[in-house]
Amino acid sequence: MLTIKRVPTVVSNFQETAESLGCGRNCLGKCCLPVSKLPLYSFKNEAKDEDPKGKNPLSVPDEDPTIDFLNTLVLGQWEDRLSRGLFRYDVTACESKVIEGEHGFIAQLNEGRHLKKRPTEFRVDQVLQPFDPRKFNFTKVGQEEVLFRFEESADEKAHYFDKAPVGTTSPPNVVAINVSPIEYGHVLLIPRVLECLPQKIDSESFFLAVKMAAEAGSPYFRLGYNSLGAFATINHLHFQAYYLSVPFPVEKAPTKKIARTKGGPTKGGVQVSSLMSYPVRGLVFEGGSDLQALSDLVSNVCVFLQENNTPFNVLISDSGKRIFVFPQCYAEKQALGEVSQELLETQVNPAAWEISGHMVLKRRKDYDDASEDYAWRLLAEVSLSEERFKEVQEYIFEATGLVEESDEEDELTQAETPFLPATVPPAAPHFPEGCLVSQ
């Protein structure tokens, strides 16, 4: 069994007291949540033509149909929790810069993120592990850390309710703050929280994450997923998301078309590409007849990876329309003693954000000395070898029915990023566009 002695990220103020008995904390467990009222955002259901009764059955007098999902509900409520002192540190005070070089890796100095953590033994050789109620999980989170519920509407309209009863009809999806944030607006999407699902992708939950990216409607708001063995720190199903007003290096990397779903782009097929000129080998999925088709294919790929015990990370980009999947092996190399001491001393665990090019550094020295060469060397250790990646890729094609592109169609494509012009929320003080610092 491969293990690494490590300190888990603290994502909730209740994490360190997770083993205490009793409740009395207005938590997200079965003792408190079903009888609670929480803000509710229901996104439009595009699959249903109309509500047979002519109205959303959740409608209540305090509905606010005009709410801005990203700026008001996500970022505005996140700032409210910041003003209430619910975070372990003020991430908006952390220094950030774009590292000089061709790729534009982003470095952040976050000295508070590695403090106040409990040592643990974390298993890295099994992507699928059963949920353990004795360990910290999100049912132990206090409701003051919750921003809102995120559910599907019964009609083709989005609805917002300031106080909606949770009830027991269906397990709620909740969006909560990460109390040890990496960036401005850092939140957690926790699907069906009361079901206590392990960190394991399923099609329904993955589509929920894609829909959240679509509802945000900004290329600067991305969602990420880390499997066990790829630096997920909590074995309770969750996605992460935050706002950063610059493109990630991986979003600008050139790609090569390698496969498509049957039917091809002209018939609404999903296009699959391989990352080129980037330190981590990965697959890029885009297109399709709709977000559901794209989401279904990517979730099938993720299910294949986890069932074949291959650790992986996911980045949901471009408002849900572009999704990156990175099979990785850094934790495996770390456990086998194959990572250099220089890289280990930085204490950087390269998960979805780091792989995408946002390097969260914990020591002043590493931040001051950050270079493109360092970022490239670290991320290159994450990547599967070319031979192993090709093998995984072929298995994915076979399992999902993808059709390989012919040689004449096989050309390099420079990514077209949708980042200009940008709309930065007025309240976002951390990394406003036009105020980047290059080393």
Q: Tell me the pLDDT tens digit for each residue of 56-78.
A: 444 444 666 578 999 999 999 99
Q: What angle do CA 173, 230, 337 make, to 5 degrees?
A: 160
Q: What integer best gives the mean pLDDT of the chain?
A: 86
Which residue, 358, 323, 326, is CA-closest to 245? Answer: 358
Domains of the chain (ranges plus CATH)?
3-12+29-50+66-416 (3.30.428.70)
pTM of the predicted structure, to 2 decimals? 0.88
What is the predicted pLDDT for the residue at 50? 43
CA–CA gap between residue 365 and residue 336 (Å, rounded)? 27
Token pair listed for 309: 């015990």
Distance CA 209, CA 239 (A): 7
- Quick: pLDDT tens for 402-434: 999 876 555 667 766 676 554 545 444 444 443
Side chain identity at 372, as an amino acid letter? E
Q: How would you class 208 by CB atoms within 10 Å of its CB: exposed for 0-12, middle for 13-18, buried for 19 or more?
A: buried
Q: Out of 103, 186, 236, 238, pick the active-site residue.
A: 238
Contact 33, 142 (CB under 8 A): no
Distance CA 218, CA 221 (A): 6
pLDDT of residue 62: 60
Q: Determine the average pLDDT of the residues in 331-340.
A: 92
Q: Which of 252, 193, 260, 256 is nearest to 36 (CA)?
A: 193
In tens, the pLDDT along 341-358 reads 999 999 999 999 999 999
Q: What is the pLDDT of residues 226-274, one digit of tens each?
A: 999 999 999 999 999 999 999 999 999 999 999 999 876 656 799 999 9
Query: Is residue 236 among the annotated active site residues?
Result: no
